[in-house]
Structure 1
Amino acid sequence: MKRVLTPARSVIAATLVAGLTLPAVAQGQLRPALNTGEQATRNAERTQERINQLDDERSDMVGEFRTLLQRKQAAELYARQQEKVVESQRRELASLTDQLGRVDEITAQTVPMLLDLITDLEAFVEADLPFRLDDRRARLETIQTAMDSADVPIVEKYRLIIEAYQAEMEYGRTVDTWPETVTIGDNEVKVDMFLYGRVALVRMSPDRRYAQRYDRATREWVDVESKFKADIEKAIKIAQGRTTPGVIYAPAAKLSVE
């Protein structure tokens, strides 16, 4: 802090200079004045120090005030942003409440549609080629059980039906073979079933003694000509992965859709 020469100091300095030339009596009379001036100087210094201290405190308070003002502005900005978020949440809640209020109505409209889908699927399975009927009918029974259960959500019922339709669709582009024991005449015969999509369904015993195809028109199994047996055997081996893929010939009837 820069010190300045106050008027009191100037007077004292001048008096000291003059006192050097005064007699002792005059100096004795001058002493009280000097003491008074010196005391005034110390008081002025203390006053100045207090002013400096107050100025420093003022600067600190100004800095603190600015910091608090910035925090206040940031808090106000955050509060405004949160108000927008809360308002958005209120709108979303109102929308969800409205949707929940319409759940029963939607369910009442959806259930008849799902039942129609199941009825159509059951009719399709019974009218289709008779392959893997146990698996396909079991799938339909699972769906029907789910439809009759109040604990199964409507979305789960819908998922089961869609998966059943997808499975039936996959059969249409699948080449598959599996063993079965069937009744031919009065005999129980082990045969290899062969499914070529929905184009043909044939079965043949490993010894080639029995070879039949399913006739859509009569819905009966009919014997195939001997010339097809080699091709059927080859097709079964290809489906089993026992030989390399090749051109497959299978007996098939014309498919008509009414």
Structure 2
Amino acid sequence: MTIVIKRSKIAAALVGTMALAGSATVAANVDLSRLQAEQTQIHNRSAQSQERIDSLFEQSRELLADYREVVSQYESLRVYNDHVQRLVEDQQSQLNSLQRQIDGIEETRQGVVPLMYRMIDSLEEFVALDIPVRNENRTARVERLREIMTRSNVTDSEKFRQIMEAYQAEMDYGVALNAYQGDLTINGETVAVDFFHLGRVAFLAQSLDQRNAWRWDNEAREWVSLDGSYLNPLTQAIRMARNQTQVDVVRLPVAAPENAE
């Protein structure tokens, strides 16, 4: 009886001990689960934080790249703007130079126009005082120049060019060997003649029937009859001027040179 009771007590003690041990194990398992849960949460939060850090780092890299691109574009724009500024300054300098030239041209024009009128006046006076070689053509040329001067559709440069051409034509008369037909009024009668001039040295006329000849006296401003000894030489000179015979020496009356005082 006594042995059974002791065994029962021992069994009860063992059961109690095991119960306590089981309670401790359960408590330990609960703490471990909570720790694991907290670690999982910490890990998740760490992962989330890392993701945010990675995102911020990537954004900072993109911002840095954008910044560098903006800086590069700014430098390029600054260099280009400096280049454009130099071009603008050079163009402005050219415009200023052109404006000065235009102003100078206008001043020159104001001086050239009166000069052209004086040149026409001098040309008209020269034609009136010169030997009357093709006098009608030369007088008409002077009148044409005066008419051109009043036309707004003709530039000043063209007007000046035509005046210079007229002066050149007058110079050519001084060296030309020429013959042409025309009418000559002698003693109130009109005679068909061959005119001949050797520069301004001699201006002669011969009737088409080759029976009469005249010499222009520029000092007296009239035609003077020539004797018959000049008829054949004058006929030959007229033929030479028309390239109808070879150039040769002929005897013709010429105006005596005046002595310079």
TM-score, length-normalised on structure 1? 0.64
- In structure 1, the partner of 2:178 is 176
Quote the offset at 1:140 in angstroms. Answer: 0.7
- CA separation in 2, counterparts of 1:196 and 1:224? 17
Is residue 207 of structure 2 the alignment partner of residue 205 of structure 1? yes
- CA separation in 2, counterparts of 1:248 and 1:108? 52
Give the share of equivalent positions with the same residue, in percent.
Answer: 36
Written as runs of structure 1 = structure 2, the 5 A alignment for 1:6-45 is none
Change (3 A) 1:84 1:189: same
- CA separation in 2, counterparts of 1:174 and 1:82? 62
- In structure 1, the partner of 2:109 is 107
- CA separation in 2, counterparts of 1:246 and 1:237? 11
Quote the offset at 1:139 in angstroms. Answer: 1.0
- In structure 2, the partner of 1:17 is none
- In structure 1, the partner of 2:123 is 121
Count the aligned residue pairs: 186
Written as runs of structure 1 = structure 2, the 5 A alignment for 1:140-151 is 140-151=142-153
The RMSD of aligned alpha carbons is: 2.7
- In structure 1, the partner of 2:250 is 248
TM-superposition CA deviations, 1:133-183 (whole Å, max 9, x none): 111111111110111223322111111111110010011010000011222
Change (3 A) 1:81 1:136: farther
Quote the offset at 1:103 in angstroms. Answer: 3.6
TM-superposition CA deviations, 1:94-132 (whole Å, max 9, x none): 111122234432222221111111111110000000111
Query: One-letter code of the match for 1:155?
Result: S
Query: One-letter code of the match for 1:184?
Result: I
- CA separation in 2, counterparts of 1:236 and 1:77? 81
CA contact (8 A) 1:231 1:249 kept: yes
- In structure 1, the partner of 2:165 is 163
- CA separation in 1, counterparts of 2:112 and 2:136? 28
Change (3 A) 1:77 1:128: farther
- In structure 1, the partner of 2:235 is 233
CA contact (8 A) 2:212 2:228 kept: no
CA contact (8 A) 2:205 2:215 kept: yes
- CA separation in 1, counterparts of 2:145 and 2:192? 32
TM-score, length-normalised on structure 2? 0.64
Change (3 A) 1:106 1:243: same
CA contact (8 A) 1:235 1:249 kept: no
Quote the offset at 1:245 in angstroms. Answer: 1.3
- CA separation in 1, counterparts of 2:234 and 2:87? 69
Q: Which consecutive unaligned segments of at least 5 residues does structure 2 have?
A: 1-77
Change (3 A) 1:182 1:94: same
Change (3 A) 1:132 1:77: farther
TM-superposition CA deviations, 1:74-113 (whole Å, max 9, x none): xx99998887666544322211112223443222222111
Query: One-letter code of the match for 2:242?
Result: Q
Change (3 A) 1:84 1:236: farther
CA contact (8 A) 1:179 1:191 kept: yes
SS in 1 for 2:245: coil
- From 222, 225, 231, the counterpart of 2:224: 222
